[in-house]
Every structure is written in C-alpha cells, then in structure tokens.
Structure 1
Amino acid sequence: MIFLVVLLALIIDKLTDWRRVVQDDGPWLRLRQRVEGRADLASRPWLGLMLLVLLPVLLLAVLLAALEPLAYGWLSLPLHLLVLLYCLGRGHGKRELGPFRDAWRRGDHEAAALVGQRDLGLSADDAPGLLRAVEAQLLWRSHEGFFAVIFWYVLLGPVAALAYRLLALTVELAESQAIRERAGQLKHAFDWLPVRVLLASFGLVGNFVAANRAMLNDLLHWSIPARQLLADVGPAAADLEEPCAGDQGIARLDALAALLVRTRMLWYAAIALWVLFL
C-alpha cells in the first residue's frame, strides 16, 4: 500500500489542486495560538512543543490503529493519502521562481534582487550570491517539501511524516523563540538521515566523483545543518560551474531541477523495490 499511496499522492499533486485544499493549517494554527497564549507554558517550551506536535501525532496514531484491522487495512488508505498530501511542502516552487527567472534572463539583477526578496525571502550582496541563495532554496525546499517527507513515510509511516511536517511548521511559524529552538533541534535530528540519503542519491544520478568529494568530510558530522550540506553538494552533483549571468544562470537552475527530477525517479524505483522484496 505504501507505493500506491505515494503514487496516488504524486498524481493528485500533479494533476489537481487538491493539495492546497488538504493543506489547511488553520486548526493547527489555532492550536498554536492557544498553546503560546498560555502563561503557564511560557517557561516550559518542551511541553508546549509536545502539545503542538505530539498531540496531533498521537491522535493520528489512534485513528490508524482503529482503521488498520478493518477490511485488511484498506480503509486506512484514504487517511494515509490525506496525511501524505498534507505533509508535502507548501507553495509551488516553479510558479514562485517564474518572476525571478524572467528578471535574471533579462540581465536585470536589480529587479531579480527585488523579486527574490519579495517572493522568495532572499537577499544577497551581489548577483552571484543571490543566484547561489536561490539554488540553495530550491534544493532545500525539495528536500523539506518532498524527499524528507517521503523518506519518513516509507520508513515509519504517516505518523513520522506528520511529525516532520508539524516540526517544520513550528520552526517556521511559532512565535515563541524557545519553542522554535527546540523544534529546530528535533527537526535537525529528523533531517540528519534523509538528507544524507538524498546526497548519496545525487551522487548516483549526477556527478558521482564531485558529489562525493563535496560531502565526504562532513557526511557524518552531526552539527552540520542539512541546508548547508545541500547547498554545497547539490551544485557539485549537477556539475555546475561558478554562477553566471543571463541564460547561463538560468541553465544552472534548470540543471539543478533536472538533477532533482532524476533523483525522484531513482527514489520511485527504490520504493518499488522496497515494497516488492520486504
């Protein structure tokens, strides 16, 4: 059922707008407001984080436990599908990159900087730095919005996938700095293994030698942020040169996008083999 759920989620994501409907964070945001509004939780951020993440995860686990014994588990398939769709990344990367790509292709770096700050929340001291920041965000959003979610769903099921998404939402949206910091610590632990599997996948579908050279020294370091590893290894695996202007700069983004597509295909094949032989 795992491969079927992943396949259905990808088809729905590509062909419909249902993901935007499913990804309604309103109930969780209201829970966050109530938790952060309680004075007695201000000095106990771990408890607040448990209410924001562990409580919804436990409710999902109870619901799954009630559905799994019925109809050989097929009644739980819609719930698996809804949870996986909810856990995928927010927004549409291609649409959001469109204005930046247009400005960069024209060679209007000032407009590209304004668009990058407005649409992507990025800023840099110079044009090459801005392009590197866009590349890093493209890689990070692909990891956080797809690869890490699929990794934890396939490995541990929808409960782990939901925990990862709620941690990501807490890091991004929580107003309490203490809660954000603790959510970031847990999310770093959740990111550690899938990002390294993703980097190994880059090596298999890209420049193997360059990717291994870029990640070898930091591969097992616990403290290296996942975002930094992706920014260092992704361009090397895509065999990119130094950032450049105009169409050549856009070609860098296209090369990274192609690398991510090839990696997705590799993961689909790996998931299918995982399901067949286990």
Structure 2
Amino acid sequence: MSFLVLLLVLWVEKFSSWRRHIQHDGPWLRLLARVEHSGTGAWAALVVLVLLPVALLGLLLVVLQPLAHGWLALPVHLLVLIYSLGRTDVLAALGPFRDAWRRGDSQAGYHVAERDLQLAEVDEERTLLQRVQAYLLWQGYQSFFAVIFWYALLGPLAALAYRLLALSGEQAQQPALREQALQLRHALDWLPVRVLAASFALVGNFMAVTRVVLHELLNWDIPAAQLVDKAGHAADDLAEPAPGEAGVASLDTLWQLLLRAAVLWYAAFALWALFF
C-alpha cells in the first residue's frame, strides 16, 4: 500500500490542487502560539506540538487497519503524506527570479530573491546565483525527498513528525524551542540527505560527488542544506555562475538532477515492494 500511496502523491501533485487545500497549518499554528504563551519548556512543547499529533494519528490508524483489509487507512496515509510535503512550490517561487536573471537585471534579482526566496544579505551577483541554486536543492530535498524517505521507511507517523519538527523550527518564536526542534530535525535529516547525495552520484557525475562528499558522509555536524548543495553542484558539473540565459540554464539542470534522483528512488521503492 505504501508504494501505491507514493504513486498517488505524484498524481495529486501533477494533476490536482489538493495540496493547497490539505496543507492548512492554521490549527497547528494556533496550538504553537498557545504553547509558547503558556511558557512551557522546549521539550514539553515539542511533546504537545509533535508527539501528540503523531500519537493521535497512530491511534486512528490502529482503529482503521483491521477494517476492510486495511484499505480504509489508505486515504489517511495519502492525506498525511500530502500534508507532510513542503510548503513551497519551488518552480513558482523561482519564476520571478528566473525572469529577472534572464534579462540580466541583477537588481531585480536581488529584490525577488529577498522577497520570494527569503535570501537576504547577498552582495555579489555571483553569490546570489549560488544561493538560489542552493535554495533549489534544499527545497527539493526537504519538501519531497526527506518526507518520502521517512514515509517509505517508517510510515506516515515518521513523515508527519518530520514536517511538524520542520514547522516548529521555522515558526517558533522561543529560541529554546526553535533550537531544540532544529536539532531534532538535523538528526532526522542525517540519513536521507546522505541517501540523496548517493543518488546524485548515481544519476550524475559519480566521481565528482564521491570526491567532494565522501569525507563528509560520517560528519554529524555538517548541515543537511550544505551537504545537499555540495553534492548537487558536484553531480551536475556546474560551471561558474553566469548572468543571463546561462545562469537560468544552471537552475534547469539542477531541477533535472532532482527529477532523475526522484525516478531512481521510485524505481528502488518499486523493486522493494515487488520483492519484499
């Protein structure tokens, strides 16, 4: 059933607008505000914000699993997985930047990168394109690959826990709560980001990725965003950042790299479902 859910997620992403209707964080954000206002400690807050919703989901699945040979749980799996995907439409967010960069209008590029991509404090044209490339790779990883990795490995509870931790790290106002959520998310990112880096090696330049990433594979301290950026740039043999159409083309090649890695993952999931 898990592989069927993964296929249905692709269908929903491509042919429907369900994702916008499912990903409503309002109730959870109101819970976050109440928890922070109450002065609850970081660990206790995470129990309420992450562990409690995950436990309620687990209870619901326990109730549904014996019914209709488990098929009643399928829509719950699908809804949870869609909710757990990232909140950013990467291609739509990059659209204004791509237009500005294609025109060679670096000033407009700085403006839309700060407005749409939340990339601030960029003072060089070369650095700006590198930051946008890193943004594309990170959003592709955290919005999709990390979520489906944990879903395929441990089911919807793990996928939901990943997204709620991500939201806690992004939305929390209390420094202690935000820091604790980011640390736990770093732990959850450790394995899937390395699997994605290995996937980049298989669908891109194997030797370049190996040379750049191999010595970092067991490094606990390297941020996931930094590792996926290094692996993606090595896999695609990107040239020096360039203005105009060449710079836009580099974003296209990175997107194609992410698509090839996704195809590889789905092929691996299909073989796993077939033989195990």
Range class of TM-score, shorter chain: over 0.9
Matches within 5 A, 1:194-273: 194-273=192-271
CA distance in 1, matches of 2:84, 2:125: 33
Q: Which residue of 1 aligns with 2:95?
A: 98
Of 237-246 and 75-84, the range deviating more from structure 2: 237-246
Deviations 1:17-54 (A, max 9, x none): 11010001011111111111103x1xx21111111100
Q: Which residue of 2 aligns with 1:9?
A: 9
Matches within 5 A, 1:22-101: 22-39=22-39, 41=40, 44-101=41-98
**Normalising by the residue count of structure 1, what TM-score does the alignment of the two structures yield?**
0.98
Please list every run of at least 4 consecutive aligned residues from structure 1 whose deviation after the TM superposition is greater than 3 angstroms.
none
Identity %: 59
Paired letter, 1:240: L
Gaps of 5+ in 1: none
Deviations 1:111-131 (A, max 9, x none): 101110111111312011010
User: Secondary structure at the residue paired with 1:216?
Assistant: helix
Q: Which residue of 1 aligns with 2:167?
A: 169
CA distance in 1, matches of 2:238, 2:163: 31
Displacement after TM superposition at 1:241 (Å): 1.2
Q: Which residue of 1 aligns with 2:147?
A: 149
Q: Which residue of 2 aligns with 1:180?
A: 178
CA distance in 2, matches of 1:35, 1:250: 43
Contact 2:88 2:139 in 1 (8 A): no
Displacement after TM superposition at 1:239 (Å): 1.2
CA distance in 2, matches of 1:160, 1:91: 20
Gaps of 5+ in 2: none
Paired letter, 2:254: L
Paired letter, 1:111: A
In angstroms, what is the RMSD of aligned CA positions?
0.7
Displacement after TM superposition at 1:91 (Å): 2.5
Paired letter, 2:175: Q
